[in-house]
A and B are shown apart, each in its own frame.
Chain A
């Protein structure tokens, strides 16, 4: 234990207290900067995820964008989705107005023409009543076919809008995954920096230098997500209530998974042995 402690602070032994304090301050500043970056990244990721949900009809409305988080790709996706919705609406209106599919219009038109104008053994001659009905229907179907010809672009525009939107959504999804990777890496860096700040703080405390040394702000995932404006589940809220951090996000010390919680308990026991802060103080 003594050997471990000695090796843990090996690099600090020869340094003056003011140098270690400066290192500690620097580490804290870096942690703060990284935490701010994490919140920013979480906000961007949330905007990307909400945009994808909106584009694939899983979300009712597009994400609200402020000028700080405006992204060309997101703006383009929302614009393309609105365009696609417009095309869809036009197509639906046309289908609702005509009610008969194009191929059936063409087939029936041809069939009525044959029945009205040719005598064939394949079909019985229509009666006068049938002829009147078919005559009327024939010209209605003819108008329908003309409308289909005129509105040919409605279907092609819809197809084009769908393809373009899909391509853009793919790009947004790619960015979303990239943000997730960056967040994960940044979180790792933050963890390392926190560890370093803790180590420096513990060293200074052990050597009785500085009574009110500031702690590195605790910024685990739930706090980041809360700051980024994400919703938390009831279990996550319960966890935060139990472990603190709901009212004072900087002092949050919550863990979601039980195995992580156990690991934290072990850490606490270790730090107590080394003369670290009391767990009750953390909870406050």
Chain B
């Protein structure tokens, strides 16, 4: 039996739709998902956030170590390249070979310096993340003792028949527009 291959201008029918994601369809949550989300309590949510935070925090020291090493290496490379460039610049040689070496050294220095800056930035981001993580764990640990009341103000107002924060801000914006 002759089976048509996938080569040629006409794509195989079996390939149709593969890798195509319908965002419209995927955006709609399944009913079970909605039902599950309705059952989530603040306690469970605080616990879940803490768990995620702690899981992330446990990976941070290793990441910090790796980033620090990377940054140190980048610093060393950049320093070496800078010293080499300085040494070449200090030489008073007008030959073509010297000029070529100078150009090459400059290029290496630029590359290493750029790498150093990137690693430095990444290290700083990680340090900020660690700081944020520590604060977050502290905050959510405090919340797990039941101090989330102020975070549920909008929800409570809505449940007691009031308007949502979205409706409130919409109304306030329209008032502001009217005044202007």
Q: Write the residues of chain A forming the contact surface with B, with a CB cutoff of 8 angstroms.
A: 96-100, 103, 106-107, 109-110, 113, 116-119, 125, 127-128, 131-132, 135-140, 142-147, 149
Contacts and interface: CB of A to CB of B under 8 A. Distances in A.
Interface of B: 27-29, 33-34, 37-38, 40, 42, 45-46, 48-49, 51-52, 55-56, 129, 132, 135-136, 139-140, 148, 151-155, 158-159, 162-167, 170
A116 B158 contact: no
Contact of A99 (B37, B48, B162, B167): B167
Contact of B151 (A127, A135, A146): A135
Given A103-B28, A107-B28, A139 B42 contact: yes
Main secondary structure of the interface of A (DSSP, over half): helix
Given A106-B29, A110-B29, A146 B38 contact: yes
SS class, residues of chain B in contact with chain A: helix
Given A97-B167, A132-B151, A119 B37 contact: no
Question: Nearest 9 A-B pairs (CB), nearest first?
Answer: A99-B167, A117-B48, A139-B155, A99-B166, A140-B154, A128-B136, A140-B155, A110-B29, A136-B151
A103 B13 CA distance: 34
Contacts of B151: 132, 135-136, 139
Nearest to B162: A97
B147 to A, nearest CB: 12
Nearest to A102: B34
B21 to A, nearest CB: 12
Contacts of B132: 127-128
Nearest to B34: A106
A131 to B, nearest CB: 6
Nearest to A132: B151
Contacts of B56: 119, 125
A154 B51 CA distance: 40
B129 to A, nearest CB: 8
Contacts of A99: 163-164, 166-167, 170
Given A107-B28, A110-B29, A140 B48 contact: no
26 contacts: A97-B162, A97-B167, A99-B163, A99-B166, A106-B28, A106-B29, A107-B28, A110-B33, A113-B37, A119-B55, A127-B132, A127-B136, A135-B46, A135-B49, A136-B151, A136-B155, A138-B40, A139-B154, A140-B155, A140-B158, A140-B164, A140-B165, A144-B158, A144-B164, A145-B37, A147-B158
A143 B52 contact: no
Determine which residue in B139, B163, B164 has the highest number of CB atoms from chain A within 10 A of its CB, and name it.
B164
A142 B39 CA distance: 9
B140 to A, nearest CB: 8
A79 B17 CA distance: 53
Contacts of A149: 38
Contacts of A144: 158, 164
B168 to A, nearest CB: 8
Contacts of A145: 34, 37-38
A42 to B, nearest CB: 48
A135 B27 contact: no
Contacts of B159: 143, 146
Central interface residue in B33, B158, B170, by most chain A CB within 10 Å: B158
B37 A142 contact: yes
